[in-house]
Amino acid sequence: MSAYLHYLRFLALRAISILLLAFWLALNGVRVSEPAIAQAQNEDGTFAGIRDLIYRQKYNEAITRLEQVLEKDPRNGEGLTYLATAHLYQDLNFTRAQIDFKEAFKAGGGATFFVTHSHESFSTGDLVDYCRGWLHLRADSVEFVPIEGGHGFKSKYNELQEFKINRLSKRVFHIRVAEKNQNFRGRSNNETEPLLIIALFKSFARN
């Protein structure tokens, strides 16, 4: 009888050990995943704030915050992307911007530009009906995210029918999607910015 009681005690202790291990694994899983979720949320908030600084042309502040991000994570693709964007609009050095955006692309980011989107069927250098927002070139797609309004879109590179400078103005370029031209002008209002955007599109689409 004593041996039987010892056996039952052994089974009980083993069951308790298994339950404790299962509880510890579940608890540990929560503790591991929570920081990852929080980090992603914090990063989204950080880049939203940085975009706002670039939008308001506070480039030095944006660069300082991006340098803080990259100090912790030197290969942060989005951080490298927005650092190139801030430097571009601060210095208007298009050659440097092309190099920086390509490095950001290699790190998993791409290129981002602040653009004016014309709502007219064709466009010259003077836009009348328009909205403004962010044009993102990433690994396999282009996306326009307006600051306000519903004229945004996102398309895979292989869905684009054209990505060219407009004939009416070299400061304006268009992206043709689903038989419709989306006309844009870069923040710099410089003829070189559309050339840079198109060159980066061709480079990214090849990879």
What is the CATH number for 13? 1.25.40
Q: For residue 167, what is the DSSP state? A: S
Q: What pLDDT band is residue 32 in, cutting at 50, 70 and 90?
A: very low
Confidence of residue 151 (pLDDT cuts 50, 70, 90): confident
Mean pLDDT of the chain: 84
In a domain, residue 160? The reply is: yes
pLDDT surpasses 50 at 176? yes
Average pLDDT score over residue span 106-126: 82
Question: Looking at residue 152, which CATH number applies to its domain?
Answer: 2.30.29.30
- Tell which residue, 191, 207, 206, 200, has the closest CA to residue 99: 200
Q: Is residue 10 part of a domain?
A: yes
Confidence label for 163 from pLDDT (cuts 50, 70 and 90): very high
**Sheet with 141-146, side-by-side order of all strands:** 153-156, 141-146, 130-137, 111-118, 180-186, 172-177, 160-165
Task: Say yes or no: 45 and 122 in one domain.
Answer: no
Specify if 118 maps to a domain. yes
Structure tokens of 197?
Answer: 């955007």
How far is it, in rounded angstroms, from Cα 199 to Cα 13?
Answer: 68
> Residues 87, 118: one domain?
no
Tell me the pLDDT band of 25, cut-offs 50, 70 and 90.
very low
Residue 126 has pLDDT above 90, yes or no: no
Supply the pLDDT for residue 168. Answer: 85
Cα–Cα distance, 29 to 22 (Å, whole number): 11
User: Which domain covers residue 141, as residue numbers?
Assistant: 110-207
Residue 31 confidence (pLDDT) above 60: no
Closest by alpha carbon to 110, among 164, 154, 151, 159?
A: 154
- 9 and 91 assigned to the same domain: yes
Please check the confidence at residue 159 and state whether its pLDDT lies above 60.
yes
Residue 51 — pLDDT band, cuts 50, 70, 90?
very high
Task: Give residue 137's pLDDT.
Answer: 98
Residue type, 171: R
Q: How far apart are the first and last CA of the chain?
A: 74
Domain count, the chain: 2
Q: Check whether residue 27 and residue 87 sit in a common domain.
A: yes
Q: What is the pLDDT of residue 172?
A: 93
Q: Answer whether residue 69 shows pLDDT above 60.
A: yes
| 3-state SS class at 186 | strand
Residue 130: which pLDDT band, with cuts at 50, 70 and 90?
confident
Whether residue 39 is contained in a domain is answered as yes
**Same domain flag for 116 and 74:** no
Instruction: Quote the CA–CA distance of 151 and 129 in Å, as a whole number.
Output: 12
- Same domain (yes/no): 59, 89: yes
